[in-house]
């Protein structure tokens, strides 16, 4: 099966697959989420454990997902159906493909709204709105944005149109052309911002925070009560690191599988995935190197949570030389990262429609995009007219519920079942032939995918499940 070419076409080279898959992996999670969770969990020790999780969980499962995609050469749904048949597995494995497409749908529905915030902040940065802004002023700007449903809807709609335009043009003329421009631009912007942080921020303090391990902060939560320092053991930061390592590589949502289906047969899966993981991690670390020096230089707290990007950094940019220009570049960077991820989330459903409903890509992209846009209305209204208890389920807004279901349930289960299928259902000669690794490398991967990765993903899953 794998010697055939996908009906959707394929990447022109191994480099283009790497750029596309890295674009899928590099998103808001790297630039928006990674800095603030590193800040909340003590910095260097957290980063060290995160890198270990990438190696033991992320890379083995990503290799498996790309392998399944290239072996099947179809949308995730049809790939899992055909591979289950050829490997003598249950036809129920097709549900794994459906679950991935559904997860991509739901994630993009709220991802697009957050990306809309970044678009709005580009406009505000360019206009100099943040120049000299106080903490209260920046808070007011953010609050005014999210509490205005019409404004949020406009930015959400613009971002979805941007995604549909790229996907409608196909693999070579749409996806490949976009990542060929956006990924180098994203990396260049990050480097420029790191250089800016070097000259204008507290660079040595930021680097020490990010790379100097303090294992007490990783394993213990300490506080001083009545002049006595008390420390309690906690594994929460380790669980967060494990979860983020898994989610940051876009695993379990069909995107990497469908991108793998467009991968040339001559390309090395293992080598490509290693490069993608390194790029993804490099972007996250560079984002931290750009952000933390600016945070410390302005006397701001690194562990303030999700508001680090939208409510803290504008204060820093607004008070620093060249802040208007570099603030604008930062939020443009955030839009680029979101865009390269979002187009990969649309692609699995578009591929399935083209394969099973015999319709053109443009029409399929519009159908998927409009559906995702419609679901996204729930997230738009979660911050304003549906924010009250009357519109909540299990105490969560639509946005909170979608984020919880996808991040804590759907993606961990998707990654777990990918590992189980690749390690236990797929016959060893099939996976060995598709991966074409050196015997000892294949042996290490097989141990990781059969035992280590599933057990660690189960640990993450069980620790992140909460009672509603």
Q: Which helix (H) or strand (E) holds 148?
A: none
Please report the domains of the chain, with CATH numbers, ordered by start residue: 14-464 (1.20.1730)
228 pairs with which residues across the strands?
225
Q: What is the pLDDT of residue 275?
A: 93
Residue where the block lists tokens 């506080």: 223
**Using an 8 Å Cβ cutoff, are 257 and 68 in contact?**
yes
CA distance 340 to 245: 19
Q: Half-sphere exposure of residue 254, counting CA atoms within 13 Å on the CB side?
A: 35
CA distance 338 to 115: 6
Q: Give how far Cα 288 sits from Cα of 38, 47, 375, Å.
A: 8, 10, 32
Q: Give the closest residue to 87 by CA, choosing from 451, 418, 421.
A: 421
Query: Could you tell me which residues come within 8 angstroms of residue 266 by beta carbon, excluding any fewer than 6 positions away?
Result: 14
SS3 (DSSP) at 114: helix
Q: What is the pLDDT of residue 1?
A: 42
Q: Is 252 left (phi over 0), alpha (psi -120 to 50) or beta?
A: left
Query: Could you tell me which residues come within 8 angstroms of residue 177 by beta carbon, excluding any fewer than 6 positions away?
Result: 169
Quote the tokens at residue 330. Answer: 């930062």
Which DSSP state fits 306?
A: T
CA distance 300 to 163: 35
CA distance 468 to 460: 18
396 pairs with which residues across the strands?
393
Phi, psi of 208 (to 5 degrees): -60, -40
Cα 427 to chain centroid, rounded: 30
Q: Which helix (H) or strand (E) holds 211?
A: helix 203-211
Q: Give how far Cα 364 sits from Cα of 109, 260, 357, 358, Å.
A: 17, 20, 9, 9
**Using an 8 Å Cβ cutoff, are 263 and 64 in contact?**
no
**Using an 8 Å Cβ cutoff, are 62 and 277 in contact?**
yes
Please, is 208 exposed, middle or buried when counting C-beta atoms within 10 Å of its C-beta (0-12, 13-18, 19+)? Answer: middle
Which DSSP state fits 91?
A: G
Q: What is the pLDDT of residue 68?
A: 96
CA distance 41 to 18: 31
* pLDDT block averages, 10 residues each, the chain of length 468: 61 84 82 79 82 90 95 92 94 94 91 93 92 86 91 96 89 80 86 89 88 70 62 64 77 88 89 92 89 84 73 82 88 88 90 89 94 95 86 83 83 90 95 94 96 86 56
Quote the tokens at residue 52. Answer: 């270990």
pTM of the model: 0.88
């Amino acid at each position: 099966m794998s010697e055939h070419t996908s009906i959707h076409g394929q990447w022109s080279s191994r480099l283009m697959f790497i750029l596309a898959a890295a674009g899928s992996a590099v998103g808001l999670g790297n630039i928006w989420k990674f800095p603030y969770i590193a800040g909340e969990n003590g910095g260097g020790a957290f980063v060290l454990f995160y890198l270990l999780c990438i190696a033991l969980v992320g890379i083995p499962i990503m290799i498996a997902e790309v392998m399944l995609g290239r072996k099947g050469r179809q949308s995730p749904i049809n790939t899992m159906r055909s591979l289950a048949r050829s490997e003598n597995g249950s036809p129920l494995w097709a549900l794994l493909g459906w679950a991935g497409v559904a997860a991509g749908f739901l994630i993009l529905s709220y991802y697009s709204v957050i990306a809309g915030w970044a678009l709005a902040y580009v406009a505000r940065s360019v206009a100099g709105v943040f120049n000299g802004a106080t903490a209260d002023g920046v808070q007011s700007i953010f609050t005014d944005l999210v509490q205005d449903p019409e404004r949020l809807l406009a930015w959400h709609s613009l971002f979805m149109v941007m995604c549909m335009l790229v996907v409608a043009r196909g693999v070579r003329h749409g996806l490949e052309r976009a990542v060929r421009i956006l990924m180098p631009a994203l990396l260049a912007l990050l480097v420029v911002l790191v250089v800016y942080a070097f000259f204008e921020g507290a660079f040595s303090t930021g680097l020490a925070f990010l790379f100097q391990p303090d294992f007490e902060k990783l394993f213990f939560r300490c506080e001083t009560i009545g002049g006595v320092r008390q420390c309690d053991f906690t594994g929460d930061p380790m669980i967060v690191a494990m979860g983020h390592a898994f989610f940051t590589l876009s695993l379990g949502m069909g995107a990497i599988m469908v991108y793998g289906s467009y991968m040339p047969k001559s390309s090395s899966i293992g080598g490509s995935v290693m490069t993608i993981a390194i790029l993804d991690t490099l972007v996250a670390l560079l984002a931290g190197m750009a952000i933390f020096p600016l945070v410390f230089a302005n006397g701001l707290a690194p562990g303030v949570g999700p508001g680090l990007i939208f409510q803290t950094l504008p204060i820093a940019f607004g008070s620093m030389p060249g802040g208007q220009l570099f603030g604008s570049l930062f939020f443009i960077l955030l839009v680029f990262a979101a865009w390269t991820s979002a187009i990969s989330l649309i692609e699995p459903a578009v591929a399935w429609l083209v394969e099973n409903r015999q319709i053109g890509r443009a029409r399929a992209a519009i159908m998927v995009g409009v559906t995702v846009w419609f679901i996204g209305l729930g997230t738009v209204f979660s911050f304003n007219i549906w924010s009250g208890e009357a519109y909540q389920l299990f105490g969560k807004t639509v946005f909170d519920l979608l984020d919880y279901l996808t991040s804590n349930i759907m993606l961990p289960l998707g990654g777990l079942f990918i590992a189980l299928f690749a390690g236990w259902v797929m016959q060893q000669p099939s996976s060995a032939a598709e991966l074409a690794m050196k015997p000892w490398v294949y042996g290490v991967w097989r141990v990781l995918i059969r035992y280590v990765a599933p057990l660690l993903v189960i640990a993450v899953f069980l620790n992140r499940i909460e009672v509603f």
